Each structure stands twice: as C-alpha cells, then as structure tokens.
Amino acid sequence: MKKLLFIALIAVLMAGCSQEKKAEVDLYAYPGNSGIGPKADIQGYFDSLISIGAKVIVHSGDEESIAEVWEGVKQLDRYVKGERKYYPVEEVNHAIELMAFEQGYSFDHSCEEDYEVDGTEMFLFRFIEQAVMHSPVIDYVTHFHSDGGETGMLCYKQWNTGPLYSFFVYKTDKGLRVLSVGERGETEFNKVFKLTDKKGRTYYLCSGNMTGIYNMFCQYLYGWDGKTMQLLGHADSFGESADYVYDEVLFNPRRLCWEACVSDGNVYKKVSKSPTLRLVLDWDKSRFVLEEE
C-alpha cells in the first residue's frame, strides 16, 4: 500500500514540474534527500501530500495544535506568494516543534528496529525542507550556527530528552538547503565549526560532546566546494575507558584534536594517560586518528 501511495504522489507532484526527475524523488526520505526543490504553491503541495497518505500528527491528537500546524503551512504559503512581507518565523517553527514533539514521543515508546518513516514523518520532513529552502535568514530555521552564519543546525529530542533528529542547514547560491545528519535517535550536536586546511579548502564540523545520561560523542565532517556539501567522515566514539575519569571531552579547533579533560575552576586540564583524537583534514582522505598516550 505504501508503495502505491508513493507512486500516486509522484504522479501528483510531478505534473508540470520539469526540473524534478521522477526517479530522483523520494517523499519518504529524510530532509535534503528527497530530490524535491522549493515549491511556489506551499498550500497546494501539502494538500496533495495529505490526499495520498501524509498525516499531521501532534501529541494526543489535539485539534487546536493540528490547526496551528496548518497555520504554519498557510503563512509560509502567503510569504512565498508575496502576500506577507516577512518570513513567518514563529508560525513555522511552532508547527515543526509540534510535529517533532509527537515524533519524539512515539519514537521513545516504540521498538527502534521497527520504526520506519511513515505518512506522519513524510509531512514533517517535507515541511522542514520547504521551510528551510524559503527562509531568507539562516537564524530563522536553526537552533545555532557556525561563526559567520554560513551553516547551522536544527536538533530535536525524544520525549525522554534523548536525541531524535539532527539537521544541517547551509547556504548555497540558490538559497538555504538542509541535510539530515546521522541516524534517528543516535546523534546530537551542540556546535558547528568552520575549518580550513592548508590548501584553503572549507570544511564544517558538526560537533556533539555531550555529558550526562547519554554521554554522547558525535563528530560529522562535511566539505564545501562552493556548490555541494558532502559528508567526508564521522566519528562516534572518543575511545572512552574505565581507566580514567573526566568531566568533558573538549575540541581544540586550532590543534584539531579532542582531549578528555577535568575542570579545575575555570580551567580544563587534560586527563593523564587518556587518548587524543586528532582530525586530519585532507578532503576525501580526511580522517579521525586516535592516539593512545
């Protein structure tokens, strides 16, 4: 049934759209991987999604919250059509938050292995794409950004505060674009670093050094060649050991390395006999190297 709905939706959305190749469109894909560009008729686009199986799901099925999601769609549509002057920041982000909260609740109460993208995530993912692509300012559609503001991130949590989604937003000559980073429920980030190598090539490091219940370490390295953003590598482990205790793993962007540190007032000191993780920037040969002390 899902396959039939997908084929039907392709037929609806591809009518009159010569720039999007049918084979490249995947309506169930994560943001940035669907092959769908910015739409001129936002309301019509999401009405079409609903007609072939997409759903607006909010917590407890609250009708008022569902109406608020559709208000976000309506106001984005009005902005795109020039019927309102300013981008609807509050309405758009509120709509995303309502849908993402319910996805976080559902994921937290489900069996992770059986959790697949369905009509509810289809609506959310496609809305995030359109919201990002039509936003004139990166701050409107990110929770934090890199120095300079060329890139930023949207991060959403599960109901139990664990990570849910991580989306990487970046500027192009055609406007803002978005990519999904890592797997659902497995990655979380709190910084984006802009880096350059000796040849002047540009990189962006989506970095997550979390302490606490989840103690999550996530590093995703992207390269920007002026036209495309590509994933060059990632590291999901610092090489923690029970042989030493630390307060936080810190990244030094000048030395391009991570070290386990303990806090001494306002000063962090490297833990004795703990490893160092180094980042080597060399485009498609970039790599993370763990050095044991």
CA atoms within 13 A of residue 276's CA, in its CB half-sphere: 12
Residue 101 lies in a domain: yes
- Tell whether 95 is covered by a domain: yes
For residue 47, being part of any structural domain is answered with yes
Buried b (16+ CB within 10 A) or exposed e, 278-292: bbebeeeebebeeee
d(CA 187, CA 83): 38
Q: What pLDDT sits at residue 61? A: 76
Strand, helix or coil for residue 251: strand
Q: In this structure, what DSSP letter does residue 284 have? A: G
Print the domain residue range for 32: 1-136
Structural domains in the chain (count): 1
Residue 270 domain flag: no
pTM, rounded to two decimals = 0.87
- In a domain? residue 285: no
Specify the DSSP class assigned to residue 59.
Answer: G
Tens-level pLDDT at each residue, the chain (293 residues): 444 444 444 444 544 444 444 448 999 999 999 999 999 999 999 999 999 899 998 987 789 999 999 999 999 999 999 999 999 999 999 999 999 998 887 777 665 555 566 677 999 999 999 999 999 999 999 999 999 999 999 999 887 778 889 999 999 999 999 999 988 888 889 999 999 999 999 999 999 986 655 567 899 999 999 999 999 999 988 876 657 788 888 999 999 999 989 988 889 999 988 889 999 999 999 999 999 87
259: β partners: 250, 276
**Cβ 232 vs Cβ 219: under 8 Å:** no
Q: Is 242 inside a domain boundary?
A: no
Q: Please check whether residue 119 lies inside any domain of the structure.
A: yes
Answer whether residue 188 is part of any domain.
Answer: no
In this structure, the dihedral spanned by the alpha carbons of residues 85, 89, 91 and 95, taken in order and rounded to 10 degrees, is 140
pLDDT of res. 213: 52
